[in-house]
Amino acid sequence: MTFRMSKTENTRFIKSTAMELGFSFCGIAKAEFLAEEAPRLVQWLQRGYGGKMHYLEKNFDQRLDPTLLVPGAKSVVSLAFNYFPSKDLAETGNLKIAKYAYGEDYHFVIKDKLKVFMDRIQETIGEIAGRAFVDSAPVHERAWAKKSGLGWIGKNSLLLNKSMGSFFFLAELIIDLELEYDGPVKDYCGTCTACMDACPTDAIPQPYVVDGSKCISYFTIELKEGIPQEQKGKFENWIFGCDICQDVCPWNRFSSPHHEPLFEPHPELAQMRTSDWNEITEEVFQKIFKKSAVKRTKFSGLKRNIQFVEK
């Protein structure tokens, strides 16, 4: 049965449903070509800041035009899901992995929530066409989140929100339903350069621009070959991803712990010490990281990272 509601009612329903499913913020923007982002993306790629991430050069048009991903798309619903942990495992002085990888792989956890979200929209609003995305297709998610008022792009190129900082995942619903649209918020970075000053590999050469080919996350996750020797001694014990530019950001003092049980770390991960990391076997790796994003780097990649940091 199709329920016919007004644009305002549909918008209100989508935003309230987002909150019910555990999302911290929901903003909506008109699905249209991202004209402002196109030249920036071209310049970023031409500078070689994508490193060996050649997939960023593919589907260039789709990355900027949501109607190429969902024909007839009218709205991009941007969502933020908190992953800030109650305990920062990096504070124990051991080898470190990024906070987003403590629990189960966010791709699957959030995708399941988005499936429920789409089902509820179909049940309440009616038959609409659309797709759900969570870092799973060429969607320029930070640009859409900014456009829909979830926050502003910080000098470390991450989305920042006044009330919760930047420790959250972004996801999108691109649908062919016209809704009421939100507008962007102002930039509150001011004169602060904490993220730029703290980066040990100088991966932020200028405000709002990150050289991905110098980022610790790139070296420890994306790069499949040997890590360049000139980076030796710069990783500050990070072996999967890096949180440095987020940890020093003043806005992250407003971060509060998430309430998602699936993002809690594996009990053994919370107990890992440097000697455990050095002696980790493939069996232990598969046990602890069975459902984790850390599996992306594979056992061989994680061992490479540990050896690079330790030797």
Measured CA to CA, the distance from residue 110 to residue 39 in angstroms comes to 31
Chain centroid, CA 217 distance in Å = 12
Q: Which token pair is 152?
A: 């502003």
Residue tagged active-site, from 105, 119, 135, 197: 135
CA–CA distance from 104 to each of 36, 253, 296 (Å)? 35, 25, 12
Measured CA to CA, the distance from residue 305 to residue 235 in angstroms comes to 10
CA–CA distance from 161 to each of 149, 158, 284 (Å)? 9, 10, 37
Query: Is 135 a known active-site residue?
Result: yes
Q: Which residue has the tokens 């260039």?
A: 60
CA–CA distance from 88 to each of 100, 101, 167 (Å)? 11, 12, 12
Stretch (H or E) spanning 275:
helix 274-278
Q: Which token pair is 122?
A: 């179909």
Burial class (CB in 10 A: 0-12, 13-18, 19+), 91: exposed
The residues that bridge with 75 in the sheet, in sequence order, are 30, 175
Measured CA to CA, the distance from residue 171 to residue 112 in angstroms comes to 12
- What are all long-range contacts of 301-306, with beta carbons under 8 Å and residues at least 24 apart? 301/220, 301/221, 301/224, 302/239, 302/240, 304/226, 304/227, 305/219, 305/220, 305/227, 305/239, 305/240, 306/95, 306/239, 306/277, 306/278, 306/280
Residues classed as catalytic:
135
